[in-house]
Structure 1
Amino acid sequence: MTSGVGPVEPGEDTHARDTPRPRPRSPLARRYDRHRRTVLASVAAFVVLAGAGYLYASRPEPRPAPPPPYPSQAVGLAYVSPVAGSPGAPAGGFSFAVLLSVRSGPPVTLTRLTQPYDGLSLTSSPAAPFQTKSHSSRKIIVTLRVTECEKAPRNPGLPFLDVTLRNARAIQAHSFILGTRYAQDLSQALEVACSNDSG
């Protein structure tokens, strides 16, 4: 009889059951167990590597860097002022300064600088081609000379300069209107040059 406290003890007709001892495993069975553990470890490692490879392969591609701007989008050309007595300016020539600014992107090369009127010729200092780095400006002295007064504009409304620009992205021809001050100064210079020519 038990008091309800402590372990249950066997009664008269009961016997404690002996736990069977494990049978010794044969060398072949032990080898099989080792091989099985090795294979399972290899499979687990393969699954981990395959999962990592899948995650790497399915990751979102980084966005490519945006292309550099077209040269005409990165460059500004502004009229500064007439230049009196610039060195090398021909008699009867009109010299003025413009400022070429590269606002962003890679360096820009100005490969050509011209004007649209048949009766005028143009030279510049520095002479094209020349390069200007990003976030910098370059002063250019432009000299116009009247070659034929009959073909020169008498009252140019919105005169412009044609430039060809090149950077790492493209080559572009672009026209820059230089504004009313340039139009007035050019008109006055042409009037003086052609009145001297006719007189």
Structure 2
Amino acid sequence: MTGIGPVEPVNSPDAQETYEIIGADTPRLAHRWKAASPRVRRATLCAAALAAATAGVIALLPPKPSGPTSTLIPIPWPSTVTTFRYTGLAATFDSAPASGLFRFAVTVHSGPPVTLRVDGAAVAGLTARISPAQTTTTINAGTTRRITVQISVIRCTGLPLDRHRPSLAVTLRNTRAIQHHRFIFGGTYPDDLATLLHTACDPLPPRPSTRTQAEAIEAPYSQNMD
């Protein structure tokens, strides 16, 4: 045999080291535990205790959700969160027989602010706009804005003087959409609008006189002489 240095057997007490021999059966666990030093045994026991404690803590934690726990709430359509309520006349028709001022309460219940524009009275021959003159008004969520709408008669031809379901045409806008919508009003609104239409287009004719002009000039009675 040729080589350098002395040949030492495996697990030589002189070298104080252990060697794993490739291809041989490894010692059984019980034998390895007995052969391990006290320091190695303590370290192994500590590692096992730590692993058991970690596993217990993980078992107590709630399971992680597979997906997002909350879904995004979509922004509502402006027409679904806006209500329009008629509250009465702002002025009589005496000063301006061809137009009238109508009061409304507009409420936005939720979502982003809604911008409102009044486009018309939804019938030919009438115009409608917010008064004092402005194009739009913005209502924040959870608030009510009181507005006055001026409705004017511009043409009486073909105008129905009695409307059972009068409405306003409006445009509603929020960060989701722009919607053209009609609000139909009950209560006293149909009667008030009919009064405006009759005042502008069907005024009451003057009452005919039952006496002629000559009769009016005459004395209230005549006296016959024999």
TM-score range (shorter-chain normalised) is 0.5 to 0.7
Cα root mean square deviation, aligned: 3.6
**Structure 2 unmatched runs, 5+:** 1-33, 204-226
Match of 2:38 among 27, 30, 34: 30
Q: For 2:188, what is the secondary structure of its paired residue?
A: helix
Q: 2:95 aligned with 1:81, yes or no?
A: no
Q: 2:47 aligned with 1:39, yes or no?
A: yes
Deviations 1:114-134 (A, max 9, x none): 221121121113634322233
Q: Which residue of 2 aligns with 1:6?
A: none
Give the deviation of 1:191 after TM superposition.
Answer: 2.0
Structure 2 CA distance for aligned equivalents of residues 107 and 193 of structure 1: 40
Q: Could you list the runs of 4 or more consecutive aligned residues of structure 1 that deviate by over 6 angstroms after TM superposition? A: none
Give the 3 Å change call, closer, same or farther, for CA 140–131 of structure 1 in structure 2.
same
Q: Which has the larger radius of gyration?
A: 2
Give the deviation of 1:173 after TM superposition.
Answer: 3.5
**Structure 1 unmatched runs, 5+:** 1-25
Q: For 1:57, what is the secondary structure of its paired residue?
A: coil
Give the deviation of 1:61 after TM superposition.
Answer: 7.4
How many residues of Structure 1 are paired with residues of Structure 2 in the alignment?
Answer: 167
Q: For 2:128, what is the secondary structure of its paired residue?
A: strand
Q: Which residue of 2 aligns with 1:125?
A: 131
Q: For 1:185, what is the secondary structure of its paired residue?
A: helix
Structure 2 CA distance for aligned equivalents of residues 42 and 59 of structure 1: 28
Structure 2 CA distance for aligned equivalents of residues 130 and 64 of structure 1: 32
Q: Which has the higher helix share?
A: 1
Identical aligned residues as a percent = 28
Give the deviation of 1:70 after TM superposition.
Answer: 4.3
- Checking the alignment, whether the CA contact within 8 Å between 1:156 and 1:187 is kept in structure 2 is yes
Give the deviation of 1:158 after TM superposition.
Answer: 0.9
Higher relative contact order (CA 8 A, sep 6+): 1
Q: Give the structure-2-normalised TM-score.
A: 0.58
- Checking the alignment, whether the CA contact within 8 Å between 1:78 and 1:100 is kept in structure 2 is yes
- Checking the alignment, whether the CA contact within 8 Å between 2:117 and 2:137 is kept in structure 1 is no
Give the deviation of 1:188 after TM superposition.
Answer: 1.8
Supply the AA of the counterpart residue of 2:98. Answer: G
Give the deviation of 1:68 after TM superposition.
Answer: 6.4
Q: For 2:163, what is the secondary structure of its paired residue?
A: coil
Give the deviation of 1:164 after TM superposition.
Answer: 2.8
Structure 1 CA distance for aligned equivalents of residues 173 and 113 of structure 2: 6
Give the deviation of 1:180 after TM superposition.
Answer: 4.6
Give the deviation of 1:107 after TM superposition.
Answer: 4.9
